Amino acid sequence: MSEDYTIIRTKDLTKAYGSKVAVNHLNLSIKKGEIFGLLGPNGAGKTTTILMLLGLTEPTLGSAAIDRHDCTRDSLQVKRITGYLPDNVGFYGDMTGRENLRFTARLNGVPEGEIDGRIDQLLERVGMTYAGNQKTSTYSKGMRQRLGIADVLMKDPEVIIMDEPTLGLDPEGMREFLQLIKQLSVEDGRTVLVSSHQLYQIQQICDRVGIFVGGNLIASGKINELGRKIVSEGHYVLEIEVEPCDDRFLGFIGTLDGVKKVSKEGDRFIIESDRDLRKQITEFLGVNHYTLLHLRQKGGDLDEIYRVYFEQAEKEEANHVKSGKEHGSRKKV
Amino acid sequence: MSSPVKSTAAEKKSEAGTKRQTSDNRAWFGMKPKKEKGLDAVKEKVDSVVEKMEPQKDPEEEAAAEERRQVRYHSLDALYKKELADHICSKRLVIILVIVAALSIASVYGALTGIKSAMDAAASGKGDSFDTTFMFLKLYTTSGNSIPSYMSLIALIGPFIGLILGFDAINSEKSNGTLNRLVSQPIYRDSIIVGKFLASATLITVMVFATGIAVGAAGFLFSGIKPDGEQITRVLIYLIYTIVYICFWLAMSMLFSVFTRHAATSALASIALWLFFAIFMSLLAGIIADGVYPVSTEYQQAVNALKNANLNTGLNRISPYYLYSEAASIIMNPAARAINAVSYAQLVGAISGYLSLGQSLLLVWPHLVGLLALTFVSFEISYVGFMRQEIRGN
């Protein structure tokens, strides 16, 4: 039962700043214990969504609830069970890591006698015991993120929301940090919502992702499902490198049915088509004595998913703008 | 790594256990009347009568209200203590202490030399006769050796203390990224701004009383001028006015810190306002008064002089600097009998003497109300602004 329990649910959540719609009728449901990745480019409305979930800004329309508590009206209760690691988290630089955590503990009403034990435990958990007595102004970005996790865990939250947590971390730090996030979900059974525009990193740890562009959630689901969906919708991208790379080969590709776009990337051709061309191409290459150096059918990975959905969204946006303009001009008439 | 993880899991379990317990308790409280109803018919009647008489209280709602009170208390307490500790450990406190110490020492020295030269002059018959009543208050009001009196120095420099404590209260937390972490904690948002204001106000109170009393004590030590009860009361009232005055500047600088993005902007804005009120306001008031009621010709003087003076003081009183200075001069100088322009006709038959403490206060209590109102209005604007602001990462 607990597995299927929807802990975060938004219903037609909308936020408009003046005429600019930052989040547009967002319907999201996140199950207890899963890691959900909210993906999208900068300015897609991810942070605004998070702020509404925490009751830090009021939605223009619709509602959101975490564990059945309304995020706007009952935000205190929501904040009690939800930990938030903001984008670019900051600490009081004059205070040590421990002092910062102690302050958070007091704000959360942790009994005075338990605070020190909790701090030790949390610092140990995020691997920051060695730096607990240093002032946080001396911390690196990675250390601050780790302390941020400890800070979030101080209230022992059921839901953890992270805004661009991997931004500015070095690869090693990133790997360890993602591991830590994974632990929070797998070992503690906490629900994690991660917003990011860095696809590859998030791909490694998310159970499900939602792709967010221009305030609209354009797709959501498991990563491999999204990949399959793209393929079934007829998006094929073939990466190919042949020797010799001459005009005859290019001409042949032009004669194939279903080719939508051919572009060159270094020595490789990128062929976009609406069907699988591998068989035809390899046959042609074999008969005409070409050497195949590289052949890869792209698709199914998040990068591809992202790109395809982005293009769709952009097209829709363009259509929208166009129709809007027509509409406007008609009005004037 | 595994052992701490296990312990957190265990801890979580135990916490879940306590949660369940409390909810069980609630259920039990809710059930209680029902059980008794089943057991005792008489009691049921009594209960129903009592229920009708007493407004119904939902135990769960009460518990929630109690919890809200708890949250408000412990979060405000934590924020207040942290802000106070921050101020006390900060470098800006050193700056403030240096300013205040320099100001106090200089003014005591100035007052002592000023009093001495006036007495010498009176003794040698060159100057006016020297009035020795309320000598203790003169420690605060006398200038000498071209050093202004303690009173006028505080009026001029005091705002700076408030500005230093408040100018970056909100916007520095915003730019450090600590504010969005703070507002995502289970606390009421107003505790943040109220806690900050109270912590700074506490510091101001301690400082004003400490320096005010130190100045009196030093003066007493070096001159042997003994205060009496009324003079001490006047000094204490004066110090309370000073606290309110400096708190106004605190509220003002916090207002700027809520509505500007950079600490430098809010610092400059509040310093600009301070200079405007301290220096330019009186010039501006004079220009406006002369423009509206010109007094350049003799005829105009005869007709407009009183109106001109009234408009001038009226405009000046918009400035908290003027308001405070005027109030302080009345409190600390019992010989001052009026704050408005007085005509010769009004002075006919007046017996020269000192105002009693009550009468002095009667003259200046509107000033206190005015200063308090200004403080509350600026704090209220920043409060509302802060509550409505959307706080996101930089």
Choose from B110-119, B186-195, B346-355, B383-392 the range with maximum mean pLDDT: B186-195
Return d(Cα B71, Cα B73) in angstroms, integer.
5
Question: CA-CA distance, A136 to A143, in Å (whole number)?
Answer: 9
A–B interface: beta-carbon pairs under 8 A = 101
Strand A236-243, strand A268-273: pairing: antiparallel
Nearest chain B residue to A71 by CA distance is: B184
The chain B residue lying nearest A163, using CA atoms, is: B393
Average pLDDT, chain B: 81
Which residue, A184, A156, A145, A151, is CA-closest to A36? A184
* Substitution target from B180, B191, B387 for chain A, most A beta carbons within 10 A: B180
What gap in Å lies between CA B379 and CA A61, rounded to an integer?
A: 31
Does residue B201 surpass a pLDDT of 90? yes
Q: Classify A234 as helix, strand or coil.
A: coil
pLDDT at A248: 82
pLDDT at B7 over 80: no
pLDDT band at residue B55 using 50, 70 and 90 as cut-offs: low
Q: Is A294 helix (H, G, I), strand (E, B) or coil?
A: strand
Nearest to B182 by CA among B274, B82, B102, B88: B82
Say which residue, A198 or B173, is predicted with more confidence.
B173
Q: Report pLDDT for B393.
A: 60
Distance from CA of A237 to the nearest CA of B (A): 38
Q: Are A181 and A205 in contact (CB under 8 A)?
A: yes
Contacts (Cβ under 8 Å, ≥6 apart) of A132: A96, A97, A98, A119, A123
Which pLDDT score is estimated for B206? 93
Q: What DSSP letter does each residue of A73-131 carry, written as one string? A: TTHHHHHHHEEEE-TT----TTSBHHHHHHHHHHHTT--HHHHHHHHHHHHHHTT-GGG
Omega before B186 within 30 of 0, i.e. cis? no
pLDDT by residue (tens digit) across A162-187? 988 888 788 888 888 888 888 888 88
Contact B176 A92 (CB under 8 A): yes
In this prediction, residue A28 carries a pLDDT of 86
Chain B positions in Cβ-Cβ contact with residue A128 (cut-off 8 Å): none
Show residues of chain B in contact with A76, CB under 8 Å. Answer: 68, 71, 186-188
According to the model, what pLDDT value does residue B272 have? 93
CA distances in angstroms from B349 to A52, B346, B356, listed in the order given: 73, 8, 19
Contact A107 B390 (CB under 8 A): no
Task: Out of B5, B68, B184, name the one closest to residue A56 (CB).
Answer: B184
| A190 lies within 8 A of chain B by CB | no
Q: Strand A236-243 relative to strand A216-221: parallel, antiparallel, unpaired?
A: unpaired
Average pLDDT over residues B333-348: 79
Q: Cβ of A74 under 8 Å from any chain B Cβ? A: no
pLDDT attached to residue A205:
86
The answer to whether residue B90 neighbours chain A at the CB level (below 8 Å) is yes
Find the mean pLDDT for residues B293-321.
85
Q: Is A288 on the interface with B (CB under 8 A)?
A: no
b/e per residue A65-104 (b: at least 16 CB within 10 A): bbbebebbeebbbbbbbbbbbbbbbbbbeebbbbbbbbbb
- Are the Cβ atoms of B390 and A57 closer than 8 angstroms? yes
Domain chopping of chain B, boundaries: 73-341+352-388
* CB–CB contact A54 B8 (8 Å): no
> In the predicted model, what is the mean pLDDT of chain A?
82
Contacts of A57 in chain B (CB under 8 A): 390
Mean per-residue pLDDT, B366-381: 92
φ/ψ of residue A76, rounded to 5: -65, -45
pLDDT at B266: 92
Contact (Cβ atoms closer than 8 angstroms) between residue B379 and residue B251: yes
Q: Which residues of B touch A88 (CB under 8 A)?
A: 177, 393-394
Listed range (B108-117, B265-274, B364-373) with the worst mean pLDDT: B108-117
Determine the pLDDT at residue A166.
Answer: 82
Name the residue among A47, A108, A121 with its Cβ closest to that of B8.
A121
Q: Which amino acid is at B284?
A: L
Q: Kindly list the residues from chain B whose CB atom is less than 8 angstroms away from the CB atom of residue A93.
A: 176
Q: How many CB atoms lie within 10 A of CB B117?
A: 14
The structure tokens listed for B55 are 């407004």
Residue B118 binned pLDDT confidence (cut-offs 50, 70, 90): confident
In chain A, the domains with their CATH numbers are 6-221 (3.40.50.300), 236-298 (3.30.70.100)
Confidence of residue A318 (pLDDT cuts 50, 70, 90): low
* A237 within 8 A of A301, measured Cβ to Cβ: no
The yes-or-no verdict on residue A324 having pLDDT over 80 is: no
Copy the structure tokens of residue A75: 């935000």
A301: confidence class by pLDDT, cuts 50, 70, 90: low
In sequence order, what are the beta bridge partners of A192? A35, A160
* DSSP codes joined into one string, A237-262: EEEEEEES--HHHHHHHHHSTTEEEE
At a CB cut-off of 8 Å and minimum separation 6, what does B122 contact?
Answer: B128, B129, B130
Q: What integer is the mean pLDDT of A315-320?
A: 63
- Cα separation, B240 vs B149, in Å, equals 18
- Two structure tokens written together for A76: 């205190």
Residue of A nearest to B86 (CA): A94
For residue B177, the chain A residues in CB contact (below 8 A) are 86, 88-90
| Chain B residues with beta carbon closer than 8 angstroms to that of A43 | none
Q: What is the mean pLDDT of residues B352-366?
A: 82
| pLDDT for the residue numbered B369 | 92
Q: How many angstroms away from the CA of B305 is the closest CA of chain A?
A: 54
Inter-chain residue contact B180 with A86, CB threshold 8 Å: yes
CB contact under 8 A, A56 and B187: no
Question: Which residue of B lies nearest to A48 if distances are taken between CA atoms?
Answer: B392
Indicate yes or no: CB of B180 within 8 angstroms of CB of A56: yes
Residues of B in contact with A55 (CB under 8 A): none
Could you give the CA distance from residue A306 to residue A216 in angstroms, rounded to a whole number?
A: 14
B387 touches chain A (CB under 8 A): no
pLDDT over 50 (residue B23): no
Give the tens place of pLDDT for each residue, A198-227. Answer: 777 777 788 888 888 878 888 788 877 777
Q: Which residues of B touch A187 (CB under 8 A)?
A: 5, 9
Q: Which residues of A touch B390 (CB under 8 A)?
A: 51, 56-57
At B39 the pLDDT is 60
Q: pLDDT tens digits, residue range B119-151?
A: 888 777 776 666 777 878 888 888 777 888 888
Cα–Cα distance between B376 and B381 in angstroms, integer? Answer: 8
At A260-295, the pLDDT tens digits run 888 887 778 888 887 778 888 888 888 888 888 888
Enumerate residues 6+ apart whose C-beta is below 8 A from A56. Answer: A75, B180, B183, B184, B390, B391, B392
The answer to whether the CB of A94 falls within 8 A of the CB of B90 is yes
Asked if B204 and B114 touch (Cβ cutoff 8 Å), the reply is no
Q: What residues of chain B lie within 8 A of the CB of A89, using their CB?
A: 177, 181
Q: Is there a contact between A188 and B9 if contact means CB atoms under 8 Å apart?
A: yes
Q: Does B8 sit within 8 Å of A79, measured CB to CB?
A: no
* Residues of A with Cβ-Cβ distance to B82 under 8 angstroms: 103
List the 86-145 stretch of A: residues with Cβ below 8 A of B: 86-94, 103-104, 106-109, 121, 124-125
pLDDT at A302 over 80: no
CA distance B191 to B183: 10
Out of B78, B178, B183, the one facing A106 most closely (by C-beta) is: B78
Contact B354, B334 (CB under 8 A): yes
Interface of B with A in 187-246 (CB under 8 A): 187-188
For chain A, the residue count is: 333
Q: What integer pLDDT is reported at residue B229 of this predicted model?
A: 85
What backbone torsions phi and psi does residue A258 show, to the nearest 5 degrees?
Answer: 85, 0
**Picking from A28-42, A297-311, B12-26, B317-331, which range would have the lowest pLDDT averaged per residue?**
B12-26
Give the whole-angstrom CA distance, residue A192 versus residue A199. Answer: 16
pLDDT tens readout for residues A102-155:
999 988 888 888 899 999 999 998 888 898 899 999 988 888 888 999 999 998
Average pLDDT over residues B339-368: 81
- Cβ within 8 Å, pair B393-A109: no
| CB count in 10 Å sphere of residue B301 | 13
Residue-wise pLDDT for A40-83, tens only, equals 877 788 888 888 888 888 888 888 888 888 888 888 888 888 99
Collect all residues of chain B within an 8 Å Cβ-Cβ radius of residue A179.
none
